[in-house]
Amino acid sequence: MIKFIKIDENSRVPKYKQIVDSIIFNISIGNLKIDQKIPSINMFSEDFYISRDTVEKAYNILKERKVISSIRGKGYYITRTKLISKINILFLINKLSSYKMTTYNSFVNSIGANSHTDLLIYHCDETLFLNLLDKNKGAYDYYVIMPHFKTEDLKHVSYTDEVVKAIKRLPKEKLIIMDNIKLGMDGEIIEIYQDFENDIYNALKEGLTKIVTYEKLILIYPENAVYPYPRRILHGFKKFCIEYSLNFEILNEVYDDMILKKGDLFITIEESDLVNLVKQMRDDEFVLGKEIGIISYNDTPLKELLGITVISTDFKIMGETASRMILNKEKGKIKIPFNFIDRNSI
């Protein structure tokens, strides 16, 4: 066993903890087997030039966790391995974006060290998704899936018949559907979601007093994006504008040399449209938040830094909720908060 143990003299981690972590790691990767004898405290102390008290403290921690046991007159043995076996999780997302990564990082940080999470991206492509799911079927303890797909003409769909069939072949106790739950799944599973239509409607209502000071609302909704967005966003926006008798327009993108007018309020979804719009406003010398307003969909640290007002799901809470429900073996459906965050751009 001695050849597998690593002790870093320059590390700020206490040596007893390094011993504990190193033994557990080597069991988890199969270097140390159940019932295998390990060195005595004295032998370990001599080989690594570490005090006997340090080694004894590490062994006592491992004994308390029932990872090792001692037999009088014979020595120490690896007792159990299940206590340290990791939970293996497959995290399937439709695209790599800053807010998706916020959810993923939040999930990984809160699920704890006793787990291993693989991140795979299927780019809203049904065939790639089905291949990834089939390839990894049975290999994981949990499957976290964000279902967003595109048609041949680049329209958003929540699912296809083949996607639903493939997901239903997974054991329900291993399934976590996240972000978009329009799959028609039944039974006791974990569902953590946004309500795209009502979320944008209610968030805009929160900002109504400022929004009504503008003469026209313009939603930039990309109709044929590589990663299409749910049309329920569009429906919620229309519902809000019609209910409050607001003048509105829906455009596919922020066009080069777009005609900008004082009193316009833009709602952008893609970051490229946000960047293009801000650049054109600066070139035309419009004052952001006074002459022209901007609300952006989905918050990011950069938008916060730039003072851009957003309507957004709390992606950090989304990841934390998923990990908590896995760890507590909870089931059920939870909607994540969607907020209007007022900054300096309206």
Q: What is the pLDDT of residue 114?
A: 79
What are the CA-CA distances from residue 85 to residues 114, 140, 143 (Å)? Answer: 7, 13, 18
Q: Which residues, at least 6 apart from 236, have a Cβ–Cβ distance to it below 8 Å?
A: 196, 197, 198, 199, 200, 201, 204
Q: What is the pLDDT of residue 88?
A: 82
Q: What is the pLDDT of residue 84?
A: 55
Q: Could you please report the per-residue DSSP string of 41-110?
A: HHHHHHHHT--HHHHHHHHHHHHHTTSEEEETTTEEEE--SGGGPPEEEEEEES---HHHHHHHHHHHHH
Which amino acid is it at 346? I
In angstroms, the CA 111 to CA 293 distance is: 39
Q: Could you please report the per-residue DSSP string of 93-160?
A: ES---HHHHHHHHHHHHHH-SSEEEEEEE-TT-HHHHHHHHHHTTTS-SEEEE---EE-TTS-EES--
Q: What is the pLDDT of residue 81?
A: 61
- Average pLDDT of each block of 10 consecutive residues along the chain (346 residues)? 86 88 85 90 92 94 86 87 70 94 95 87 96 84 94 91 93 92 79 96 97 98 91 97 98 94 97 96 95 96 95 96 94 95 95
